[in-house]
Amino acid sequence: MPLFNDISKVWTKYGNQIVSGIWNTVLISIAGTLIGLIIGLFNGIIRTMPKPKNIILRAIMRVVNWIINAYVEVFRGTPMMVQAMIIYWGYAYLSGGDSLPLIPAGIAIVSINTGAYITEIVRGGIISIDRGQFEGAMSIGMSHFSTMLHIIIPQVMRNILPAVSNEFVVNIKDTSVLNVIGVTELYFYAQSAARNSYKIFASYLIACAIYFCLTFTITRILRFIEKKLEGRGNYTIFGSQSDSTAEIRVSEEEEPVNA
Amino acid sequence: MPEKVIEIKHLKKAFGDNDVLKDIDFSISKGETVSIIGSSGSGKSTLLRCVNLLETPTGGEILFHGENIQTELDVSQYRARVGMVFQSFNLFDNLNALQNCIIGQTTVLGRDKGAAKAKAMEYLEKVGMTPYINAKPRQLSGGQKQRVAIARALAMDPEVILFDEPTSALDPEMVGEVLSVMKRLSESGMTMMVVTHEMAFARDVSDRVVFMNDGYICEQGTPADVFGNPKREETKNFLSRFLNQ
Ligand SMILES: Nc1ncnc2c1ncn2[C@@H]1O[C@H](COP(=O)(O)OP(=O)(O)O)[C@@H](O)[C@H]1O
Ligand SMILES: [Mg+2]
């Protein structure tokens, strides 16, 4: 079949490039999602901080919150492709002709963009935690910071994992827009293979299949991790209720989930 | 005269223009168990929440060993000395029973892990929860959760524990296990403020009963006086309504 022939020709000639493009796509998506998660956690925590009593701190908080809001609105409200152009060419313009190194620039753009979405996800995650969790912590004197660190954020992380996984999968696909500034990710090489070989359909078919395999396997892996994090459904009983002298052991080991 | 632990003077609390606590004067002495009764909406929870500063009073003052809790004490250290047990347990969902009883000790009191664990185990044993130290809250029954919550409060070595309807969210067969823990605690000399609808507990365990009505303390006295010989019309009405239902 001629199509198979075309595909095989494209792959033989451009396969190495395409594979390196896959690596860059995966690298930029993973790094972008993780850094975006850190940005989102940071912003989300700040945005849900209780209002300080001190009037100066209060004013500072108001400004900081305004900046975070503006950041979220701007980066959620404009296409990442345009953001990439603005950041890349803006830097070149302002620095008098220097250009950003491409992979780090790509990671930065994806991180900032993802951070805007995850900020909202985290804020929603924190707000949806029952008031009782905060009050339980307050009632024993825990500070807001300790409460966040030990009680709230661990619960938020588990709750937002599906949404963050989704951002990751979106990033795998959306890194393709970075080709506009010349980042050598998967789409960039598929495009160049198409241009050079004139086998346009075959080239993009390869890219399409690879994108699908990436997102499909990653979705499965993340599902598996989510399941794991749901924790074990059972626990071990130590000592004995009837026999008070029975040895009491405290176990630290994690047991496998009883599926 | 035993030492006063908490003294409340002219306490007021309003939510917007809803005056919930109108003028509360109250004090509790070391080792005393006081039951607070009254119909729903009379301000009982709000009173306890003000004492623990979960709500900020809008008037009056609350003294802890003579010091104003809002102006003279560090909120965090004060709260560590005054435990609270909630109707809805409010255990930390991401931590197991043991960790629930450790986290406050390490983060607020600065105890080291080993000492905190030993203390947590001690109190979990007191409430009969030793076998379940590794269970997460969602794996426990209501009565078990409330016993862990009591152990969590106790592990901070508080001087006073506030109970806000600790058995109201429990299935009837679990009420007893929690009340018996509270009874033992009261007998061991803990200072306790207990908002409750368990009249048997109020009558048999507490040293004093306070009847709250419409944001005021309407009547207070020994259980025998309040239950046996109520002076105020409101108290009589409340008790007859309550005992006839
Ligand atoms: N956070 C709040 N905001 C506004 N109103 C409140 C709040 N908490 C309690 N109230 C009001 O205060 C009144 C007394 O409530 P509460 O102290 O819970 O009564 P009780 O515990 O005796 O049933 C109720 O009318 C309730 O609606
Ligand atoms: Mg109440």
Of B19, B20, B35, B54, the residue with max ligand 1 atoms within 8 A of its CB, to mutate for a pocket test, comes to B20
Beta partners for residue A93, in sequence order: none
Which chain A residues are Cβ-neighbours of B96 within 8 angstroms? 235
Contact of B135 with chain A, judged by CB distance below 8 Å, is answered with yes
- Rounded to the nearest 10 degrees, how much is the dihedral formed by the CA atoms of A50, A55, A56, A60? 40
Q: Among 3.60.15.10, 1.10.3720.10, 2.40.110.10, 1.25.10.10, what is the CATH number of A2-258?
A: 1.10.3720.10
Q: What's the B13 CA to ligand 1 centre distance in angstroms?
A: 10
Model confidence over B179-210: pLDDT tens digits?
Answer: 999 999 999 999 999 999 999 999 999 999 99
Model confidence over B89-119: pLDDT tens digits?
Answer: 999 999 999 999 999 999 999 999 999 999 9
Q: What's the B84 CA to ligand 2 centre distance in angstroms?
A: 13
Q: Nearest residue CA, atom 3 of ligand 1? A: B15
SS3 string, chain B, reads CCCEEEEEEEEEEEECCEEEEEEEEEEEECCCEEEEECCCCCCHHHHHHHHCCCCCCCEEEEEECCEECCCCCCHHHHHHHEEEECCCCCCCCCCCHHHHHHHHHHHCCCCCHHHHHHHHHHHHHHCCCHHHCCCCHHHCCHHHHHHHHHHHHHCCCCCEEEEECCCCCCCHHHHHHHHHHHHHHHHCCCEEEEECCCHHHHHHCCCEEEEEECCEEEEEECHHHHHHCCCCHHHHHHHHHHHHC
Question: CB of A202 within 8 A of CB of A6?
Answer: yes
Beta strand pairing status for B59-64 and B82-85?
A: unpaired
Question: CB of A182 within 8 A of CB of A113?
Answer: no
ipTM: 0.94
A97: confidence class by pLDDT, cuts 50, 70, 90: confident
The pTM for the full model equals: 0.88
Q: Which residues line ligand 1 (CB under 6 A)?
A: B 15, 18, 20, 38, 40-46
Cα–Cα distance measured from residue B94 to residue A183, given in angstroms and rounded to the nearest whole number: 42
Contact of B128 with chain A, judged by CB distance below 8 Å, is answered with yes
Contact of B139 with chain A, judged by CB distance below 8 Å, is answered with yes
Asked if B98's CB is within 8 angstroms of A132's CB, the reply is: no
Write down the residue that tokens 């749901």 correspond to.
A230
Q: What's the B205 CA to ligand 2 centre distance in angstroms?
A: 20
> Looking at chain A, how many residues does it have?
259
Q: Nearest residue CA, atom 7 of ligand 1? A: B15
Return the DSSP state at A152.
I
Give burial (CB, 10 Å; 0-12/13-18/19+) of B160: buried
Q: What percent of chain A has pLDDT over 70?
A: 89
Which chain A residues are Cβ-neighbours of B104 within 8 angstroms? 137, 140-142
Task: HSE, CB side, 13 Å, CA atoms: give it for residue B80.
Answer: 21
A1: confidence class by pLDDT, cuts 50, 70, 90: confident
Contact of B117 with chain A, judged by CB distance below 8 Å, is answered with yes
Query: What is the predicted pLDDT for the residue at A244?
Result: 42
CA dihedral sign of residues A142, A146, A148, A154: negative
Atom index in ligand 1 nearest the CA of residue B46 equals 17
H or E segment and range at residue A57:
helix A55-76
Asked if B152's CB is within 8 angstroms of A141's CB, the reply is: no
Asked if B94's CB is within 8 angstroms of A235's CB, the reply is: no
Query: What is the predicted pLDDT for the residue at B245?
Result: 60
Q: Which of B47, B145, B155, B57 is nearest to B101 (CA)?
A: B155
Query: What is the predicted pLDDT for the residue at A241?
Result: 46
Query: What is the predicted pLDDT for the residue at A240?
Result: 46
Cα–Cα distance measured from residue A198 to residue B137, given in angstroms and rounded to the nearest whole number: 63
Query: What is the predicted pLDDT for the residue at A235?
Result: 64
Task: Give B 165-204 residues with CB within 8 A of chain A.
Answer: none
Query: What is the predicted pLDDT for the residue at A232?
Result: 59
Model confidence over B20-36: pLDDT tens digits?
Answer: 999 999 999 999 999 99
Model confidence over A41-70: pLDDT tens digits?
Answer: 999 999 999 988 899 999 999 999 999 999
Mean pLDDT (whole number) for B49-71: 96
Return the DSSP state at A148.
I
> Looking at chain B, how many residues does it have?
245
Chain A residue closest to B87 (CA)? A132
Q: What's the A20 CA to ligand 1 centre distance in angstroms?
A: 63
Six-digit token pair at A238? Answer: 């130590």
Q: Which ligand is nearest to the CA of B38?
A: 1
Out of A135, A141, A236, the one facing B80 most closely (by C-beta) is A141
Contact of B134 with chain A, judged by CB distance below 8 Å, is answered with yes
Cα–Cα distance measured from residue B153 to residue B134, given in angstroms and rounded to the nearest whole number: 18
Among A31-35, A36-40, A255-259, the least confident range: A255-259
Query: What is the predicted pLDDT for the residue at A237?
Result: 63
Six-digit token pair at B183? Answer: 């009874």
3-class DSSP state of A108: helix
Query: What is the predicted pLDDT for the residue at A238?
Result: 60
Mean pLDDT (whole number) for A207-229: 92
Query: What is the predicted pLDDT for the residue at A234?
Result: 60
For the sheet with B18-29, list strands across it. B18-29, B4-15, B59-64, B67-68
Supply the DSSP string of A218-236, one letter for each residue.
HHHHHHHHHHHHT--S---
Tell me what the pLDDT averaged over chain A comes to. Answer: 89
Cα–Cα distance measured from residue A122 to residue A166, given in angstroms and rounded to the nearest whole number: 14
